Structure 1
Amino acid sequence: MNRPLSNPTRRELLRRGALLGLSQPVLSGLGGFGLSLAAMGPAAAANTGGYKALVCLFLFGGNDAYNTLLATDSESWTAYGAARQSGTEGIALAAPGVPPKSGASLHARLGGVLPISPLNPQGRTLALHPVLSGVRDLFGAQRLALVSNVGPLSGPTTKAAFLSGTAPRPPKLFSHNDQQSVWQAFSTEGATRGWGGQMADRVLAGNGRAMFTSVSLSGNAVWLSGQSARQYQLSPSGAIHIGGLTDKTFNSATVQQKMLSLMRNVRNNSVAEREHAAVVGRSADAEALLRTTLPASGAGPWGTGGLSGTQVDPLLQLKDPETGTLMVNPAAEQLQAVARMIAARSALGMSRQVFFVGLGGFDTHDTQQQRHTRLMAQLNHALAYFDGVTTQMGVSELVTTFTASDFGRTFAANGDGCDHGWGGHHLVMGGAVRGGDLYGKLPVYGLSDGKGGFSSDDQLESGALLPSTSVEAYAATLGKWFGLTDSELLAVLPNLKNWNQSQRNLGFMA
């Protein structure tokens, strides 16, 4: 076990500060706070041979898993239609093989769901949302896996135990902010360390620029924060610049440098002032470094060269499935920046990185046909784009992208939408993924009793899925590929010990 030095030397302070990306002037003014920060023990280095990156694509709002991956065998399809074909249109998708046709319903215009053939279909027939053609192709090429019914769990449980109150349940179940945090950090809103960041803690020593180990393209994400690992927030266009983009403030380079100098240094012993100076220094140093090392967004293969400053890269655009008009895909924009960071990995001395990308709007209580279809189209385009880019870069086997979300949604429609659920299906993509198959137990669809209950042991109130696969097992499978040992995974994932050894690795990573 590594322990922090009780009284680090100045040389050790500077060395650890450099590892965290802090400049020497910033460290000189940090006082006791800086000593405490730099005195954190170096994380135990995992098996970090070569380069690897994990990319979390978080679907904010709670993705409707029932309309993402569908069971289409006769019994399942009958139950699906009964639960979702309410009102004049409902939210049910068209059956496999139904041709697209004009009409009032967007789902009718799209045609039927897209059949897929997992290597182990679990005795069922399966399909994907009609706009997930790229995902279907990646699945068929065995570059993408489907992981069924994942959700936060403290340990194995059953419907009977849950209903009787004898099984523990996640805190504040069905709350957006809390379940986003539980997925990312196994604790409700206010958590400070996520499992991505704690994995990053264990690989910091193998990175030349530790400050670029945890990188967010979607604002503050607790998933990226560890004990020593600090998340670095990058915009889709690149590093966030302090002051004028021309290195001038009030048309003066001198003024800008003086302002940066003032922000970097402290005049009293205020903890807030010291921390502000440290953050400013870290940001300025990072921006200066990335300005010369981060490839241009228009460079290939992630971008289209020769565009003017006002033109939107066509690689980042797709057609709105409802209107047919072109729209910019925010998820693809963020993944373009991830690709550029990965391209700079050698210049930055990176061995392991974790990235966080977000796509919002999945809280589809109403107008689900339009909203969820558009989001599925964006997810499909983003994954196909990123797979193509990483393949052309020659890093596909080194980069694994996976989805996460607040929760799934209910089986029962509420009219033209569906409500908060629990378990949900997820996608894992990359050259190291054992794709073309379904992992985890596919749930059985039940029939409603007319009082909110469903006949299936896999479905709770309104058909919300009782997870059969824990977030911990999902994370452990990713973490094992990333290079963490079994003991490190048990330290990062607090409830993993509650499952036996055979249930801790889902097998979707080579």
Structure 2
Amino acid sequence: MTQRSDLLSRREVLRRASALGLVAPAATGLGLGLAAMGNAAAAGATGYKALVCVFMTGGNDAMNMVLSTDAATWQRYDSVRGGVAEIALAAPGTPAKASSTVLHERLGGALGVTAVGGEGLAFHPVMGGVRDLFNAKRMAVMANVGPMIGPLTKANYLSGVGARPAKLFSHNDQQTMWQAFGVEGSTKGWGGQFADLLMSGNQRAMFSGVSVAGNAVWLNGATVRGYQMGPAGPVRLGGTSGKVFGSTVVQQKLQAITRSAANPQLLEREHAAVMARGQDAEAVLSSGLPVNGPWGTTGQTATTDPLLQYVEPDTGKSVLNPLAYQLQAVARTIAARDTLGMTRQVFFVSMGGFDSHDNQPIAQARNMAKLAHALAYFDRTLSSMGVDQSVTTFTASDFGRTFTSNGDGTDHGWGGHHLVMGGAVRGGALYGRMPILGAADGKGGYDSPDLLPSGVILPTTSVDQYAATLGRWFGVGDAELSTILPGLNNWSASSRQLGFV
């Protein structure tokens, strides 16, 4: 990327300082410097683009989300995972047994597809929406991704040669490793740092990074701080009714008190400033969010909208899909992009329940049904809005899970498969390499270059490569990617872009 050599004008610096007031506790010299550095990137970023991270909290068993269907691989998969009665899915084409007490038998076989390159793949039986998106070439599979310092072989791992991420298999640390390339306590994520570079094109900088799932380090940059909202919309101090204890006056007084500092102490002044920015941002976003659109019913009554309902595979009941509800909020915020003056945004949504040490057949079937329904809902909504080419959605998780079964579940692993969706995605294809499955040796090992002891899958693609491919599409230059993604330079130049978008 070519960098501008001219300095920002004083007027432009002041304009950006005003915008940054909605982002950081203070418009510091560092914040202004970052805004200046991002000027060239933002100037070259035409049109609107958004990245949406769907985080599967707890560690998704990707081996039961996407599978290879060649005969040898499937035989090893079925023999290790214990047959249909435990956690192994039935082979594609297996008829459903409506009268069975085993959920996997009632669901029937996995949903087979053929990728662009000829690879045979299959999705979990409840993921019909994902299967259809893949066949429509609106979704790609990214195989065996995980945090890595650089290329690492099984032999080097076992002998202690070669760097590896700290605190593998720890939920909190690996969630942060995925989002920020550091252990728990890291403060800057790659999504937020992407936004740092491109936020100067946004009139309302506060909304450069938006979470509908609470705090997420992925959204935080050196300047950008994730704005948190609820699925029904931004959260108002004192409640959405405009009243506290039945009184509008009490709510107004509460807001006035929290945004003013009675004493000159720094902590009190900073708290008041944060509360004032939050209230101002809520007022802006509440007035800017559209109500009616292809996303369906909004607000608190949205929970009963059929568009946001998914069918529980084990009960057959239609219930609210919380992930779809979060994505509705994302769609509405994207619809407000012109009103808010936004050109680049990053969004974070999440769903839990993936820590499937036991009862995995039912728990994962529900989660896969939620995921597939929510992604299909979001794709239809964005397509109806005419912005599907401008939004790329991708999945992430703490880690994959072990290839081995512990009876009716799986344990913490490392590498796992992920999904990338959008109009700009080169879909219907498999990227990276599916792991080679091997037979157990009876001593906790496997005759496979990709399976570590206890059935942990050694990743073959790093999160850095995954993020770099998304970042390049988003408008981040190669030099900036190498700075933001610490392990990227440890991979060959030809492998830093994976080609799925």
TM-score by length of 1: 0.92
The partner residue of 2:165 within 170, 194, 202 is 170
Aligned partners of 1:22 and 1:278 also within 8 Å: no
Distance (Å, rounded) in 2 between the aligned partners of 1:505 and 1:38: 30
Distance (Å, rounded) in 1 between the aligned partners of 2:278 and 2:178: 28
State the AA in 1 paired with 2:62.
A
Stretch deviating more after TM superposition (249-258 or 385-394): 249-258
Q: Is structure 2 residue 14 aligned with structure 1 residue 18?
A: no
Rate the CA distance shift 1:326–1:21 in 2: closer, same or farther, 3 A.
Answer: farther
State the AA in 1 paired with 2:199.
L
Corresponding residue SS for 2:156: helix
The partner residue of 1:484 within 476, 482, 487 is 476
Stretch deviating more after TM superposition (360-369 or 72-81): 72-81
- TM-aligned CA deviation for residue 74 of structure 1: 1.4
Identity of aligned residues (%): 57
* Deviation by residue 1:363-383 (Cα, 9 ceiling, x = unmatched): 000001000000000000000
Distance (Å, rounded) in 2 between the aligned partners of 1:234 and 1:110: 36
Aligned partners of 1:2 and 1:44 also within 8 Å: no
Give the aligned partner of residue 115 of structure 2.
118
Give the aligned partner of residue 97 of structure 1.
93
Q: Is structure 2 residue 165 aligned with structure 1 residue 180?
A: no
Aligned partners of 1:21 and 1:286 also within 8 Å: no
Give the aligned partner of residue 302 of structure 1.
295
Aligned partners of 1:21 and 1:209 also within 8 Å: no
Aligned partners of 2:16 and 2:200 also within 8 Å: no
Distance (Å, rounded) in 1 between the aligned partners of 2:93 and 2:277: 55
- TM-aligned CA deviation for residue 452 of structure 1: 1.2
The partner residue of 2:235 within 230, 235, 240 is 240
- TM-aligned CA deviation for residue 308 of structure 1: 9.0
Stretch deviating more after TM superposition (423-432 or 281-290): 281-290
Q: Is structure 2 residue 175 aligned with structure 1 residue 153?
A: no
Give the aligned partner of residue 275 of structure 1.
270
Distance (Å, rounded) in 2 between the aligned partners of 1:198 and 1:41: 10
- TM-aligned CA deviation for residue 257 of structure 1: 2.8
The partner residue of 1:109 within 106, 109, 115 is 106
Corresponding residue SS for 2:404: strand
State the AA in 2 paired with 1:138.
L
- TM-aligned CA deviation for residue 120 of structure 1: 1.3
Corresponding residue SS for 1:202: helix
Corresponding residue SS for 1:410: coil
The partner residue of 1:356 within 328, 348, 354 is 348
Corresponding residue SS for 1:457: coil
Give the aligned partner of residue 74 of structure 1.
71
Aligned partners of 1:402 and 1:428 also within 8 Å: yes
The partner residue of 2:442 within 442, 450, 453 is 450
Rate the CA distance shift 1:188–1:311 in 2: closer, same or farther, 3 A.
Answer: closer
* Deviation by residue 1:452-492 (Cα, 9 ceiling, x = unmatched): 11111011112211000010000000000000110111111
* Deviation by residue 1:259-304 (Cα, 9 ceiling, x = unmatched): 32221122334333233212211110111112211012xx220014
Distance (Å, rounded) in 1 between the aligned partners of 2:460 and 2:140: 17
- TM-aligned CA deviation for residue 2 of structure 1: 9.6
Rate the CA distance shift 1:73–1:170 in 2: closer, same or farther, 3 A.
Answer: same
Corresponding residue SS for 1:205: helix
* Deviation by residue 1:481-507 (Cα, 9 ceiling, x = unmatched): 000110111111011011111100000
State the AA in 1 paired with 2:342.
M
Alignment: residue pair count: 492
Q: Is structure 2 residue 84 aligned with structure 1 residue 55?
A: no
Aligned partners of 1:304 and 1:314 also within 8 Å: no
Distance (Å, rounded) in 2 between the aligned partners of 1:173 and 1:162: 13
Q: Is structure 2 residue 496 aligned with structure 1 residue 504?
A: yes
The partner residue of 2:259 within 259, 264, 272 is 264
Aligned partners of 2:191 and 2:219 also within 8 Å: yes
State the AA in 2 paired with 1:371.
A
State the AA in 1 paired with 2:294.
P
Distance (Å, rounded) in 1 between the aligned partners of 2:302 and 2:296: 14
Distance (Å, rounded) in 2 between the aligned partners of 1:201 and 1:38: 9
Distance (Å, rounded) in 1 between the aligned partners of 2:243 and 2:14: 30
Distance (Å, rounded) in 2 between the aligned partners of 1:354 and 1:308: 24
Map 1:243-254 → 2, pairs under 5 A: 243-254=238-249
Corresponding residue SS for 2:408: coil
Distance (Å, rounded) in 2 between the aligned partners of 1:310 and 1:215: 20
Corresponding residue SS for 2:334: helix
Give the aligned partner of residue 396 of structure 1.
388
Distance (Å, rounded) in 2 between the aligned partners of 1:118 and 1:213: 35
Distance (Å, rounded) in 1 between the aligned partners of 2:269 and 2:154: 52
Distance (Å, rounded) in 2 between the aligned partners of 1:69 and 1:309: 35
* Deviation by residue 1:71-113 (Cα, 9 ceiling, x = unmatched): 1211111111111016x92201101110001212100000001
**Unpaired stretches in structure 2, ≥5 consecutive residues:** none
Give the aligned partner of residue 430 of structure 1.
422
Stretch deviating more after TM superposition (239-248 or 417-426): 239-248
The partner residue of 2:127 within 118, 125, 132 is 132
Q: Is structure 2 residue 136 aligned with structure 1 residue 141?
A: yes
Give the aligned partner of residue 465 of structure 1.
457
Rate the CA distance shift 1:446–1:328 in 2: closer, same or farther, 3 A.
Answer: same
Stretch deviating more after TM superposition (253-262 or 232-241): 253-262
